[in-house]
Chain A
């Protein structure tokens, strides 16, 4: 059965499944490094404007909902745990547990996006928006709209990644439900999981920077 799985998933240019898995993992990490640099550009923008307008960032970050941000941190870290466990069970060929854990992960992603939606709604209603759309009267330190430019760009791009990650994991869960993964071959679960962990990793930095600092 394992030899079947090997031949079914092994591309002809790899000598064996192990070297194929190594290449796939390295390729995924290279992709993740481009993702890290994509977010780094926004972190740089944050650092520059945080340096130029410290008072504004201090005032504006008080407008962010810390409780919701903290809840979302807990939700994402928990979803990272369930993905790690899903990979563990996929490697052992326990497909049902893999599917269940991936479903929990996707549900966590959905909870995250719903909470984020409430936060966005609040900011829109209050006029806490970037640039000339900033109409909130409560804080009028120069540079506050810049905080919201950075806030919406960073959380927006991150939210997009959460949605893409949910899609990827749904696809992986579908394949796991079809019984495509075995102890010999579970690379897609691992690579999908890596993507999801990166989304968690970015949020680990976004939360203190945007909600606390």
Chain B
């Protein structure tokens, strides 16, 4: 019973949970408000993702009790975050550094490259001069 009383004391109360909820609501409002401003697109993306990360941290720390428990459970989340970064980062790096035609047709990596004048990959015959670029697929 003494152990229970001890762990009970460590847990957050309803008042703190409501405060976390209010903070999450405010941040949701901020996300929408920032989105409607006319800051640059990149800045708004960074703001939206930054706010989402703060919200996720609030949920993980307080609603999911990482703040009070810690230890191995924090390690599990940290490890999975590391794999999230590796998976997204390395895959994006791959697509960003490819030979343009290794990416899907009409993607941004081929913008500004004239379709017919570009040397095709080795082993393929060049397209005849003046071949119109096919209409974009739906």
Contacts and interface: CB of A to CB of B under 8 A. Distances in A.
Nearest to B92: A47
Contacts of B20: 81, 84
Contact-residue size bin, chain B (C-beta under 8 Å from the other chain): 35 or more
Contacts of A190: 65
Contacts of A183: 4, 8
- By secondary structure, the A interface counts as helix
B116 interface: no
Given A25-B69, A48-B91, A145-B138, A201 B60 contact: yes
B107 A52 contact: yes
Interface of A: 2, 18, 25-26, 29-30, 32-33, 36-37, 40-41, 43-44, 47-48, 51-55, 66, 70, 73-74, 77-78, 80-81, 83-85, 88, 91-92, 132, 134-135, 140-145, 183-184, 190, 193-194, 197-198, 200-201, 204-205, 207-209, 212-213
27 contacts: A25-B69, A29-B77, A32-B80, A33-B76, A33-B77, A36-B80, A44-B88, A44-B91, A44-B92, A47-B88, A47-B92, A52-B104, A52-B107, A70-B32, A74-B25, A80-B59, A88-B12, A135-B138, A140-B136, A143-B104, A183-B4, A183-B8, A184-B4, A197-B59, A197-B64, A208-B51, A213-B49
